[in-house]
Structure 1
């Protein structure tokens, strides 16, 4: 039994729910759209840097920023991943690490590889000149010359590399892949062994350790994807897993509280989610990444709680358009910036920026639907097939030893 701990995560208690939470799919889609809007607006110099326009600053430095809170959306993704990935581990079935890892790699990595190859092709196909009227941030994208080393690092997510070279959104996928591969061990040794208070304390400790080490040993070029900051982001996955573990308790409680209290919780969620923009943004020591991310996490948790307990919100999130965006959110995340860059190359001098945005959005949706059907779903199918093959292989390897003992 002791030798099998790292290959087979055994019964972990609770009751596994095979149904999918469609509300969370829709929330993921909405979060992906805020990333898209952030990148659209960040093309504008007035949105990328401080503006003298009062209306622009109101949108930037108030809870209204929730409409284009791209970084916050990534924290939201991490918490949602922790929630969804943890559900099978609360069931009565064995979860073998090898089959889990194979499915997870196929789900994240295969669609990523296709997208990064397209991004590399796009980067090599156009000149590296600046776009007139665009922000420094946007003009800094897709600038690196193609090298085999960079391609190798991007293809295999190896080492600490310039993630902005071809498609800047990959930084979050680097952490997602790292944490996904160790997630079963987090579940086995932490979430399912300890009560929620100790588990949350472990998450905070990991967050502090990762943040401190990252500040000491990373450079401006590596601060976003260093291994140490991955330790910090593990905490967000643990928060999601805890939320899933105790879902029956808080769903029951939240449904039975007064409507005014639930609405208050939603408002607190909005304020927490946008905390870094409206709460004295000029005071740096209260906006360390460590602090901001935990306040953002509070907002994300409240959104999840509200979406699963409010009938009105659940009905809104069940709309077909939102479910479509939710299903294709991974591809939207992977491709929108590539599409925007291509249209800026072709039309920046000939079309108004708002027309480029509309074209980008339409093509991104069409491309994402195609990628979901022809890349994501086949990747999932490969993962399931491989996982079954691995399980059969492990069962056949165990059979002779069982006969020997008898």
Structure 2
């Protein structure tokens, strides 16, 4: 069977990765007047970092579910091997790069830069920190040399349990699945609230309660994939005015945490903000798969290439940013440092894609083929033994 590939979703992941990079540029550097005037508006859409990560989770749920709907019988062990090679091996490369950059480029705190910047590369490396990073799935201080790792911890954990989640998605209707997902998310939020407010728990954003919450976003992605044909037909039935209204709603929900009374805490509980952003992210995938105009944009070659290198760009850009700010701040204008960082990040991400990501995927495929071959050999040997009797 020919592999189903959605180029638009790859491109969407690339644009989301680029928006996370812009988000970190603005977090690290000194305050910029014109940015401060528009950051609490829907224009935050272009550098909405956390929303971009939630979109990653949604896209992962969508793509991971597709083989299950095609009745591809991949044993759990083989599925897990491919997933570990896909996520963990490029991640380990970035850990090594981060340690190297921190060792060679770190110059110390800078009061002219943000607290976000000064918190990074502030801790000494210890064997415990390195071991935690190697194993990836623990609840640990991930923020030592690359602050994006928190999302990979959840991605790896959820990948481990995803075949169980997909059983629910396949067997139950969408309403029941959403009800289960919302209930689990709210339960996770309650556990998180108790831990943060009534215990000495250190919240590194990598708690197992957080993973339960983000599991619902993977489920939502799988539901979108399951019902994509019906949703496509629904798109063709909607008039142009309604489509524009829904697209505006997409932008407003995707940026909700920033523009809707941002100082009113009760309106911006962690779980509530994520639910609203999830609505916008679902609409984004819906439009990307069904809008001819948006599809043409997402098939522009540079955007497609950005999608191809999106994982490596996500892993590497903050390491480059911290290194460049440590070495160049005060010597060059911040805008020029950002430009240099963006160029180096894209170049390194491109190299990492071809020299790390693709080989990692091939390693996973080779291991799976070896396991399948061994299994078939055992079956043949068993059959021959039975025939002797």
**TM-score interval, normalised by the smaller of the two chains:** over 0.9
Look up the match of 1:41. Answer: 26
Match of 2:194 among 212, 216, 232: 216
* Cα distance between partner residues in 1 of 2:210 and 2:204: 7
The partner residue of 2:316 within 307, 332, 335 is: 335
Q: Match of 1:80?
A: 59
CA distance in 2, matches of 1:155, 1:128: 25
Separation (CA, whole Å) in 2 of partners of 1:115 and 1:66: 27
Q: Secondary structure at the match of 1:350?
A: coil
- The answer to whether the 8 Å contact 1:111/1:376 transfers is yes
Tell me what 1:167 maps to: 146
Shift of 1:404: 7.5
Query: Superposed, which structure 2 residues align to 1:19-168 within 5 Å?
Result: 19-46=4-31, 55-127=34-106, 129-168=108-147
Q: How is 1:158-307 mapped onto 2 (pairs within 5 angstroms)?
A: 158-188=137-167, 190-218=168-196, 221-307=202-288
**Change over 3 Å in CA distance of 1:158–1:79 after alignment to 2:** closer
Measure the CA separation in 2 of the matches of 1:211 and 1:205: 10
Q: Which sits farther off after the overlay, 218-227 or 86-95?
A: 218-227
Structure 1 residue runs without a partner (length 5+): 1-15, 48-52
Distance 1:127 1:362, change over 3 A: closer
Instruction: Describe the superposition over 1:267-321 as per-residue Cα deviations: whole angstroms up to 9, x where unpaired.
Output: 1010001111111111111211111111000000001111111101100110001
| Distance across 2 between alignment mates of 1:216 and 1:399 | 56
Could you say if the C-alpha distance between residues 164 and 349 of structure 1 is closer, same or farther in structure 2, counting changes exceeding 3 Å? same
Which secondary structure state, in structure 2, belongs to the residue aligned with residue 46 of structure 1? coil
- TM-score w.r.t. the length of structure 2 is 0.94
- Paired residues for 1:344-359 under 5 Å: 344-359=325-340
Indicate the structure whose relative CO is greater, using CA pairs within 8 Å and at least 6 residues apart: 2
Correspondence for 1:310 among 291, 297, 321 = 291
Counterparts of 1:129 and 1:283 in 2: how far apart (Å)? 35
2: CA distance, partners of 1:238 / 1:158: 20
- For residues 291 and 17 of structure 1, the distance between their equivalents in structure 2, rounded to whole angstroms, comes to 39
Contact 2:317 2:345 (C-alpha < 8 Å) held by counterparts? yes
Does 160-169 or 292-301 show the bigger shift? 160-169
Deviation at 1:259, TM superposition (A): 1.4
Which range moved further: 220-229 or 314-323?
Answer: 220-229
Distance change in 2, residues 1:208/1:346 (3 Å): same
Runs of 4+ in 1 over 4 A off after TM superposition: 398-406
Q: CA deviation at 1:17?
A: 7.1
- Normalised to the residue count of structure 1, the TM-score between the two structures is 0.91
CA contact (8 A) 1:81 1:237 kept: yes
Q: Tell me how many residue pairs correspond in the alignment.
A: 384
RMSD between superposed Cα atoms in Å: 1.8
Q: Give distance in 2, aligned partners of 1:220 and 1:273.
A: 30
Q: CA deviation at 1:167?
A: 0.8
Query: Unaligned stretches of 5+ in structure 2?
Result: none
Please say if residues 128 and 143 of structure 1, whose CA atoms lie closer than 8 Å, have aligned partners that are also in contact.
Answer: no
